[in-house]
Structure 1
Amino acid sequence: MFRGNLKGSSRGSSTSATSLIFCRPTLRMSTRDFMMLVTRLRRPIAVVFRSLCAARLSSFQPMQDVRLSDQQVEFYRENGYVIVEDILTDDQLEVWRETIDEAVAERGNDWTLPQKGQADVTNVELEYYTQVFTQRINLWQSNSKAHSLVFKAAKVFARLACQLEGIKKMRIWHDQALYKEPWANPTSWHVDIPYWSFDSTHAISVWIALDDATEKNGCMYFLPGTHKIIKNGYEKKGEFTEIKIGKNMADIFKAFPEVKSAHSVAVPMRSGSCSFHSAMLIHGAGTNMTAGRRRAMTVQMMPDGSKFNGKQNILTNKQFESLNIGDVLNSEDQNPLLYDTTSTT
């Protein structure tokens, strides 16, 4: 498994020649300086604290010149995934945890999509599925702090995604928090792209570990190279075969018997690290056999110019009814452009 470390991380240093530099400023202020600021401004502490939090959040602007190594890109294209270790500093990780936890909590127990009351039209066996993980989609649309955090980071993630996929422009399809609760069910083998409202061989996801993801608490598993098999099937049939996340881990092999003998790879990650995986890669996650949560935040991205294929997925009823098959999914309200390699700004 190829892992790329980041210089400047307090959670581990790299001796690899393929290290990825990803350093960002943090806001630091002593208690004495904080109280002096409050006194000088003569403003309530709560107001000043909120201002400092906003400044702290805005300081988490990723560097715009981050690049993956040629070895990482080659590994991704061959295997369908790549791990980037310590992409968040300890301070940044804490902000991510606080922000995403708040956004998830705002949704309550059964408010998966931003539009309260909208039914899940993608998944089956919901009684089982809801015990696989707590899934909260498009937090950027319902929480202002999540919006700011996700989009500042997503611009960098989209740049890296364009590099991995060899394309010029990337839009957001959706974000989602995936929290494996204590004793949660396993996530059965599946492929992402068949669920989505567009077809593409260049769609990609980034999965950010907010907690250490281990084989004990439900880390990700991949079947390396299976993105090529899924792509070949799509090119022959003109459509992707959809397998729901249900109770039976082996359902995927009914659709793709040729991968039954594939070698699975566990992908444990330290908190603050991330993985990129092709939307065509077969993947899943283990059971959480611990009394603690395993938190992750993800961003799913689609190439600019992707067209509606007739599936609703995460689209609102209003959006779904307004689209015709073949319409370009380029709404800046629903699918903003994250990165354009041709832009000079």
Structure 2
Amino acid sequence: MSDPEPPSDLADLDWVDEPVTLDRDACARFDRDGFVLLRDVLPAEKLARIGEEITALTLALNEEDRPLEERDTYDRAFLQVMNLWRHSERVKRFVFGRRLAGLAAELLGKDGVRLYHDQSLYKEPSGGITPAHADQYYWPLSSDRTVTAWIPLQPVPEEMGPLAFFAGSQHAELGRDLPISDESEATIRREMQAQGFPLVQSPFALGDVSFHAGWTFHLAGANQSDRPRSVMTMIYMDKDIRLAAPTNSFQENDRATWMPGARVGEVVDTPLNPILIDKG
């Protein structure tokens, strides 16, 4: 009989709980634009190491085996796996880290945040665009006090498809009824231009993290390089947010999958939605 696997060493991940100070105007920029890109939030070398584990898990757990040319626009955008934290103690340590959760709470103007779910996004070489959309279309939640941290696991120059945001679009109503698709790409781009919301895009260095609000419209370009673009995301929500009655089939699925047992009108307090930081 082989020896049991030794427990994972988590000591080298203590940095995920170390607090960082926001720029003086970061919260104001987030409130105004619906997103903020923060430079050098995470230590690059240490992020690269946990990034290797996240990428390996993504490839191991992903079930997509069709070649790119046989997929639709959404499936060409990236390989994705949710709640990686349930498959690895080290990834759990990263996802539950208080550094990014604390920034999320501060940007939302809340005492604390819960985890909605994590999501890895692996855009293959020659992978397609990520169509314009707003995340909160998928979430049956009682308020817009939600924010997603987008964390590249390697540098993302423009040719690899960095995330781009329509600044100020979190206040726009048109397009909120569109799932991510060819239609959302065409309609939202057209309406954002018509309403004067500029598209803001810039490269990400390793260690940079962006945060965007649930209703901020965003997109990403194709990966035109010969290297994969691996990204980890964490979706945070106000610790006191409540489950709302789902308004579409995607929200029905999210309720069942990411908030099992939560009841409409009650705080989303389930084992899959732990409070990650509470300053109250």
Please point out which of 129, 133, 146 is paired with 1:186.
129
Query: Cα distance 1:160–1:318, how it changes in 2: closer, same or farther (>3 A)?
Result: closer
Between the two structures, name the one with larger relative contact order (CA 8 Å, sep ≥ 6). Answer: 2
Distance 1:315 1:139 in 2: 18
For residues 130-182 of structure 1, what are the alpha-carbon distances to aligned partners after superposition, in whole Å with 9 as ceiling and x for unaligned?
Answer: 11111111111222221122112xx2212111211211121010111111111
- Shift in Å, 1:276: 0.9
Distance 1:58 1:164 in 2: 24
Please point out which of 33, 43, 48 is paired with 1:79.
33
TM-score by length of 1: 0.70
1:250 matched to 2:157: no
Query: Cα distance 1:179–1:318, how it changes in 2: closer, same or farther (>3 A)?
Result: closer
Secondary structure of 2:159's counterpart equals coil
> Which letter does structure 2 place at the counterpart of 1:293?
P
1:312 matched to 2:252: yes
Deviates more, 1:160-169 or 1:242-251: 242-251
Distance 1:185 1:243 in 2: 19
Q: How does 1:233-312 map to 2 (within 5 A)?
A: 241-248=176-183, 249-252=185-188, 259-309=194-244, 310=246, 311-312=251-252
Q: Is the 8 A contact 1:205 1:298 kept in 2?
A: yes
> Which letter does structure 1 place at the counterpart of 2:231?
A
- Shift in Å, 1:215: 1.6
Query: Cα distance 1:54–1:281, how it changes in 2: closer, same or farther (>3 A)?
Result: same
> Which letter does structure 1 place at the counterpart of 2:159?
K
Number of residue pairs matched by the alignment:
268
Q: How does 1:34-49 map to 2 (within 5 A)?
A: none
Please point out which of 259, 276, 280 is paired with 1:338.
276
Please point out which of 56, 62, 71 is paired with 2:17.
62
Distance 2:258 2:202 in 1: 38
1:210 matched to 2:145: no
- Shift in Å, 1:253: 5.6
Q: Is the 8 A contact 1:205 1:277 kept in 2?
A: yes
Distance 2:79 2:164 in 1: 18
Q: Identity across aligned pairs (percent)?
A: 25
Q: Is the 8 A contact 2:42 2:208 kept in 1?
A: yes
For residues 245-284 of structure 1, what are the alpha-carbon distances to aligned partners after superposition, in whole Å with 9 as ceiling and x for unaligned?
Answer: 1124212267x57855432111311122111111111111
Query: Cα distance 1:168–1:106, how it changes in 2: closer, same or farther (>3 A)?
Result: same
Distance 1:110 1:328 in 2: 34
Please point out which of 299, 316, 327 is paired with 2:266.
327
Match of 1:106 in 2: 60
Q: Which runs of 5+ in 2 are unaligned?
A: 66-70
Query: Cα distance 1:105–1:318, how it changes in 2: closer, same or farther (>3 A)?
Result: closer
Q: Which runs of 5+ in 1 are unaligned?
A: 1-43, 112-125, 234-239
Match of 2:68 in 1: none
Q: Is the 8 A contact 2:258 2:272 kept in 1?
A: no
Match of 1:94 in 2: 48
Distance 1:60 1:139 in 2: 19
Match of 1:8 in 2: none
Query: Cα distance 1:278–1:317, how it changes in 2: closer, same or farther (>3 A)?
Result: closer
For residues 195-246 of structure 1, what are the alpha-carbon distances to aligned partners after superposition, in whole Å with 9 as ceiling and x for unaligned?
Answer: 112132221111111121122111111110111234xx8xxxxxx9331111
Query: Cα distance 1:61–1:223, how it changes in 2: closer, same or farther (>3 A)?
Result: closer
Distance 1:263 1:156 in 2: 30
Q: Is the 8 A contact 1:196 1:313 kept in 2?
A: no
Distance 1:229 1:277 in 2: 15
- Shift in Å, 1:313: 3.9
Secondary structure of 2:103's counterpart equals helix
For residues 97-127 of structure 1, what are the alpha-carbon distances to aligned partners after superposition, in whole Å with 9 as ceiling and x for unaligned?
Answer: 122023213313249xxxxxxxxxxxxxx73
> Radius of gyration: which is bigger?
1
TM-score by length of 2: 0.85
Deviates more, 1:242-251 or 1:307-316: 307-316
Match of 1:17 in 2: none
Distance 1:327 1:220 in 2: 33
Q: Is the 8 A contact 1:191 1:242 kept in 2?
A: no
Q: How does 1:120-159 map to 2 (within 5 A)?
A: 127-152=72-97, 155-159=98-102
Query: Cα distance 1:106–1:144, how it changes in 2: closer, same or farther (>3 A)?
Result: farther
Match of 1:118 in 2: none
